[in-house]
Amino acid sequence: MRISTSKGKCPTLKLFSIPSKSHCQLFSAKPSPTAQHLNENPEPQLRHRDGTCSQEPGPGFEGPPISDTIFGDARKLGSYRRGDSTFYSLIEYHAKCGDLRSLEMVLEQMKRDKRAFLEKNFILVFRACGKANSPLKAIELFDRMVDEFQCKQTVKSFNSVLNVIIEQGLYRRALEFYDYVINKKKNISPNVLTYNLVIKALCKSGWVSKAVDLFREMPILKCDPDVFTYCTLMDGLCKDDRIEDAVALLDEMQIEGCSPTPATFNVLINGLCKKGDLARAAKLLDNMFLKGCTPNEVTYNTLIHGLCLKGKLDKAVSLLSRMLSNKLIPNDVTYGTIISGLVKQGRAVDGVHVLMAMEERGYRANEYGYSALISGLFREGKSEEALKLWSKMIEKGCKPNTVVYSALIDGLCREGKPYEAEEFLFR
């Protein structure tokens, strides 16, 4: 089965009209930044040996690869001459901290010294723009690469900027940038990563049919989709309530010789669970083994969560045991969902068994799991079991929070034991 495009035929590559004059000004070359513009950037940060950055030096502080004094006074020092590698090291250092202000200063100094600019340097700067939440700065620098810095643009630097824009959630701006560079400037040929990013932006913008159109055109443009292309489009189709098209895409990708990964199945299992089609979701889990694709934690967690939401707690617990036997660790949400579901069904004791099994495998329960069980046990008239669980929680070193205290005190009061509740309150 082949999913259809919105028009029934392969579309043209162009997704949007060329930007208007005012819009083109956004992507046009801009003059060198002024001092005022530099001051608009975030304060420079200091990098520590553990890879973290801050504005204050600490015991693990790592300074830049060259002293600022030596760097600034290099022309006065006859024994030292700045080489290209010095600038490249500074770019790498400041980029890791997202320090755009310092990066601009290094680029300007390189330009004055007529240094050679490498595309990989700009890719580091673009990533720094992403860290600093400045996608428009990345667009601006990309447009200045050729004319101002005499650095050739390729699809690598283009994809880097496109990814920064998309990571900031500016999906339509990313599509406009793609259209401007690919369709108007026509100096860069897209690759599979480019199309993956554009398909993601189209799906996130709600234009899933356009994403399908572009997907269908990729082979014509001598660019075969990869597993990430299929996963991205499947996710978009599922969220657009086109689960059948998404499942059909799984068969199609295998026919085309593209092997699915656990992430591929996870997208479909999640979509089927949200639709309430748990039988097909479970069947997909079995198909994973037939395809030689081992389920991971996300696979089990997704399906268990879906079973719990439908009230199928016994199947969820069974799948949890299967997950643990495969030495996979459930997350807090999985355990919390199962325990909460059992409590709602009046099966708090079963929830305690799940909790104990979890802790036997070295997994530490959080306060919310304990509070749900303590509250459930009291509601079922099992105050003695609730107090035992409280004691075990303390023994395990789990410090009770307000939610746990509230569950305990409320339960004791309901049991007609206000004095015992008062003792716990003032301990």
Q: Which of 110-114, 238-242, 322-326, 364-368 has the lowest mean pLDDT?
A: 364-368
CA nearest 305: which of 324, 268, 283, 331? 331
Q: Kindly calculate the radius of gyration of the chain based on its CA atoms and give it in whole angstroms.
A: 29
Q: To the nearest whole percent, how much of the chain has pLDDT over 70?
A: 80
- Residue 34 predicted with pLDDT over 70: no
Give the distance, in angstroms, between the CA of residue 304 and the centroid of all CA atoms in the same chain. 22
Q: Under 8 Å CB-to-CB from 329, ≥6 apart: which residues?
A: 297, 361, 363
Residue 190 in this model has a pLDDT that exceeds 70: yes
Average pLDDT, the chain: 82
In terms of phi and psi (left: phi > 0; alpha: psi -120 to 50; beta: otherwise), the region of 381 is: left
Note the pLDDT tens digit of each residue in 288-339. 988 889 999 999 999 999 999 898 999 999 998 888 888 888 888 888 889 9
Which amino acid belongs to residue 279? A
Over residues 334-358, the pLDDT tens digits come to 888 899 999 999 999 999 999 888 8
Are the CB atoms for 218 and 225 separated by under 8 Å? yes
Closest CA to 306 of 271, 257, 345, 349: 271
Q: What is the Cα–Cα distance from 55 to 47, expressed in whole angstroms?
A: 9
Tell the residue number behind the tokens 């030292």, with chain if given: 80
pLDDT digit string, tens, across residues 35-65: 334 334 444 454 544 555 554 444 443 555 4
What CATH number labels 1-185? Answer: 1.25.40
**Which spans in 97-134 are helix H?**
100-112, 119-131
How is the chain split into domains, by residue range?
1-185, 344-427
- Residue for token digits 């901290």? 97
Q: What pLDDT sits at residue 195? A: 98
Asked if 1-185 and 344-427 have one fold, the answer is yes
- Residues 389-427 have pLDDT tens digits of 988 888 888 878 888 888 888 888 888 888 888 887 776
Q: Does domain 344-427 have CATH number 3.40.50.920?
A: no
Residue 171 has pLDDT above 90, yes or no: yes
pLDDT at 254: 93
- Which pLDDT belongs to residue 27? 45
Q: What pLDDT is recorded for position 396?
A: 82
pLDDT per residue over 108-156, tens digit each? 988 888 888 899 999 999 999 999 999 999 999 999 999 999 999 999 9
Average pLDDT, integer, range 163-181? 96
Q: What pLDDT is stored for residue 281 in this prediction? A: 95
Alpha helices in 3-118 (DSSP H): 21-27, 35-39, 68-72, 84-96, 100-112
The DSSP output letter for 53 is: E
